[in-house]
């Protein structure tokens, strides 16, 4: 039993993320009190980790845990997102947590839950929601941290967040990745910043995850297109991705893709592991939440939604196996130059990726209006440069774009990205045509191009759509030669077909 209140911070939930984050914090010299519902998990954690620089204090119950913390107490919760978070908060409030104490939910909570919790627990504690990205390794050696909530509460945890976050090099913006247990990275710019009030941190983390979905799906489509069209072996594909990682596409996801593709199968060492993995993907919900939110707000995040659907379609494995016996595809097979297709797929990947990020940032722009947040998009891109799964050279360019113009309406309109799409779009279209002719599904590539072509079109066929809606449902229409907000209806059923102006007042 620990009776001295000398721990700098407390952490509840010692599964993968909690365990690693606690060690990261302790490595930076902070004393961490830890608690886990299942006691033997906590005890095993303490036993396995003696002598961390800051020190760990194992607590047998929440009263002991709360008593171990310096005031104002700072408690990180890293339990399964959902009802467990409320259970833990309620238990903390019954165990001595006071008004000035700060509870930080670092799980993948739905941002609307964070907004609700901030209100619900107001006056009982100060509540923050912080996105944590980077998985297990990020938590251990430097994640990207996206905190939201009451600003003064954030200032209290800022020194810890700055210490434990991933760091990027001041000049190049590249992640500094040489942390070791007990020897963390301390120099460089921390990948964390105050995001905004109430649920802003969790919202931005959710969009980060959704962009991650598209990034992964695009890479998978690039892999599959090259594999199918050129009949390449996994090791050849690994070399291609490794080469791509030296240019504009330099990123953690491209790097791990190359590594995965080079891995031999432990069961069959003559074969590659990836060729023996089931083509059925799961998901945990952040991509779906983003898609639902985008639909609610009326924002066209085509590629994000397609990336979620692609996982759903992949999971219909049995149906697909059956359908493959009945549904005919084309007989076309690519006969062109190998290197040209490799180059074109790289361009297609780059252009589609620009569209995916454009959609994510466009969505956040709309969300800040709805929720009265003031999001700093350059800062958000900055903190995604290191620690998180989507870390990439590309993020530096996004940061520069929003630094040039903080009010940039769409990333594709930034001169740098505009030029990149201009350079790559012929190849992008070629790749999509190869995919379509070959019968290879490439939903993220295709939806990204549709987004690009739709967004850059002064005219879309929604004029006809207005006519159709008015014809069958008297939904009215606006005209190009009248001010916006002036509505008309055609009396389609009568012989005279008179047009009347509708006054909605």
Active site residues: 205, 212
Q: Which of 9, 11, 14, 435 binds ligand NBP (CB under 6 A)?
A: 14
Q: Which of 2, 29, 41, 438 binds ligand NBP (CB under 6 A)?
A: 41
Q: Shortest gap between Cβ of 482 and ligand NBP (angstroms)?
A: 51
Using a 10 angstrom Cβ sphere, with 0-12 exposed, 13-18 middle and 19 or more buried, the burial of residue 30 is buried
Q: Does 144 bind ligand NBP (CB under 6 A)?
A: no
Q: Does 93 bind ligand NBP (CB under 6 A)?
A: no
Using a 10 angstrom Cβ sphere, with 0-12 exposed, 13-18 middle and 19 or more buried, the burial of residue 43 is middle
Q: Does 18 bind ligand NBP (CB under 6 A)?
A: yes
Please give the C-alpha separations between residue 422 and each of 155, 188, 456, 499, in angstroms, as whole numbers.
43, 34, 12, 43
- The sign of the torsion formed by the CA atoms of 15, 19, 20, 21 equals positive
Shorter beta-carbon distance to ligand NBP: residue 83 or 454: 83
Give dist(CA 288, CA 305) in Å, integer.
Answer: 8
Shorter beta-carbon distance to ligand NBP: residue 39 or 433: 39
Q: Which of 55, 72, 96, 135 binds ligand NBP (CB under 6 A)?
A: 135
Region near ligand NBP per CB under 6 A, out of 34-42, 52-60, 373-381, 404-412: 34-42
Shorter beta-carbon distance to ligand NBP: residue 13 or 173: 13
Q: Rounded to the nearest 10 degrees, what angle do helices 338-371 and 200-230 cross at?
A: 160
Give dist(CA 129, CA 106) in Å, integer.
Answer: 6
- Chain CA centroid to CA 86, Å: 24
Q: Which of 10, 54, 107, 360 binds ligand NBP (CB under 6 A)?
A: 107
Region near ligand NBP per CB under 6 A, out of 77-85, 227-235, 271-279, 425-433: 77-85
Torsion angle, alpha carbons of 488, 492, 494, 497, to 10: 50
Q: Does 79 bind ligand NBP (CB under 6 A)?
A: yes
Q: Which of 38, 183, 186, 433 binds ligand NBP (CB under 6 A)?
A: 38
Q: Does 15 bind ligand NBP (CB under 6 A)?
A: yes
Q: Does 256 bind ligand NBP (CB under 6 A)?
A: no
Q: Tell me how crowded residue 462 is: count the other CB atoms within 10 A of its CB.
A: 11
Shorter beta-carbon distance to ligand NBP: residue 133 or 352: 133
Half-sphere exposure of 170 (CA within 13 A, CB side): 3
Q: Tell me how crowded residue 274 is: count the other CB atoms within 10 A of its CB.
A: 18
Give dist(CA 426, CA 347) in Å, integer.
Answer: 9
Region near ligand NBP per CB under 6 A, out of 14-22, 170-178, 351-359, 360-368: 14-22
Q: Shortest gap between Cβ of 160 and ligand NBP (angstroms)?
A: 17
Shorter beta-carbon distance to ligand NBP: residue 114 or 368: 114
Q: Which of 5, 6, 61, 87 binds ligand NBP (CB under 6 A)?
A: 87
Convert residues 432-471 into a mask of x (bound to ligand NBP by CB under 6 A) and - (unbound). ----------------------------------------
Nearest residue to ligand NBP by CB is 107
Q: Does 88 bind ligand NBP (CB under 6 A)?
A: yes
Runs of H (alpha helix) within 279-413: 286-297, 302-315, 317-323, 338-371, 377-383, 393-404
Give dist(CA 491, CA 197) in Å, integer.
Answer: 50
Shorter beta-carbon distance to ligand NBP: residue 292 or 426: 292
Shorter beta-carbon distance to ligand NBP: residue 17 or 390: 17
Nearest to residue 206, comparing CAs of 409, 387, 390?
390
- Owner of token pair 């023996």: 276
Q: Which of 92, 104, 132, 176 binds ligand NBP (CB under 6 A)?
A: 132
Give dist(CA 378, CA 388) in Å, integer.
Answer: 16
Shorter beta-carbon distance to ligand NBP: residue 137 or 406: 137
Region near ligand NBP per CB under 6 A, out of 12-20, 334-342, 367-375, 483-491: 12-20
> Across the chain, how many H-helices and E-strands are there?
19, 11
- The sign of the torsion formed by the CA atoms of 417, 425, 207, 133 equals negative
Residues in contact with ligand NBP by CB under 6 A are 13-18, 36-38, 41, 78-81, 84, 87-88, 107-108, 132, 135-136
């Amino acid at each position: 039993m620990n009776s001295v209140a000398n721990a700098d911070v407390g952490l509840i939930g010692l599964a993968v993320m909690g365990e690693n984050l606690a060690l990261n914090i302790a490595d930076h010299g902070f004393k961490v009190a830890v608690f886990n519902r299942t006691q033997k998990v906590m005890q095993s954690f303490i036993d396995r980790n003696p002598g961390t620089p800051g020190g760990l204090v194992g607590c047998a119950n929440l009263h002991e845990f709360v008593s171990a913390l310096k005031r104002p107490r700072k408690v990180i919760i890293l339990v399964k997102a959902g009802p467990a978070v409320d259970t833990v908060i309620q238990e903390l409030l019954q165990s001595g947590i006071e008004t000035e104490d700060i509870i930080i939910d670092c799980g993948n909570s739905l941002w609307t839950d964070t907004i609700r919790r901030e209100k619900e627990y107001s006056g009982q504690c100060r509540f923050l929601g912080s996105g944590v990205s980077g998985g297990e390794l990020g938590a251990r050696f430097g994640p990207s941290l996206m905190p939201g909530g009451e600003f003064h509460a954030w200032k209290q945890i800022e020194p810890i967040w700055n210490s434990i976050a991933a760091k990027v090099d001041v000049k190049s913006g590249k992640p500094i990745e040489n942390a070791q247990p007990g020897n963390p990275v301390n120099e460089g710019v921390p990948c964390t910043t105050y995001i905004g009030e109430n649920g802003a941190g969790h919202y931005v983390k959710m969009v980060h995850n959704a962009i991650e979905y598209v990034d992964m799906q695009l890479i998978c489509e690039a892999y599959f297109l090259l594999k199918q069209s050129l009949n390449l072996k996994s090791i050849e594909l690994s070399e291609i991705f490794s080469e791509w990682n030296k240019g504009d596409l330099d990123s953690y996801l491209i790097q791990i893709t190359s590594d995965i593709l080079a891995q031999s199968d432990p069961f069959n060492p003559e074969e590659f592991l990836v060729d023996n993995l089931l083509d059925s993907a799961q998901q945990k919900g952040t991509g779906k939440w983003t898609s639902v939110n985008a639909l609610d707000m009326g924002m066209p995040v085509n590629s994000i939604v397609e990336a979620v659907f692609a996982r759903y379609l992949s999971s219909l494995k049995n149906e697909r196996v059956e359908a493959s016996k009945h549904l005919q595809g084309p007989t076309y097979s690519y006969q062109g130059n190998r290197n040209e297709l490799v180059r074109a797929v790289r361009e297609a990947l780059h252009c589609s990726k620009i569209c995916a990020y454009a959609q994510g940032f466009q969505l956040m722009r709309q969300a800040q209006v709805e929720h009265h947040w003031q999001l700093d998009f350059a800062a958000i891109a900055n903190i995604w440069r290191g620690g998180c799964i989507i870390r990439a050279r590309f993020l530096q360019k996004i940061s520069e774009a929003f630094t040039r113009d903080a009010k940039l309406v769409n990333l594709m309109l930034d001169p740098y990205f505009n030029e990149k799409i201009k350079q790559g779009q012929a190849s992008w279209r070629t790749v999509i045509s190869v995919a379509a002719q070959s019968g290879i599904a490439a939903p993220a590539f295709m939806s990204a191009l549709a987004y690009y072509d739709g967004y850059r079109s002064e005219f879309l066929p929604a004029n006809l759509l207005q006519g159709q809606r008015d014809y069958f449902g008297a939904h009215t229409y606006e005209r190009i030669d009248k001010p916006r907000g002036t509505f008309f209806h055609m009396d389609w059923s009568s012989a005279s077909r008179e047009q009347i102006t509708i006054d909605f007042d």
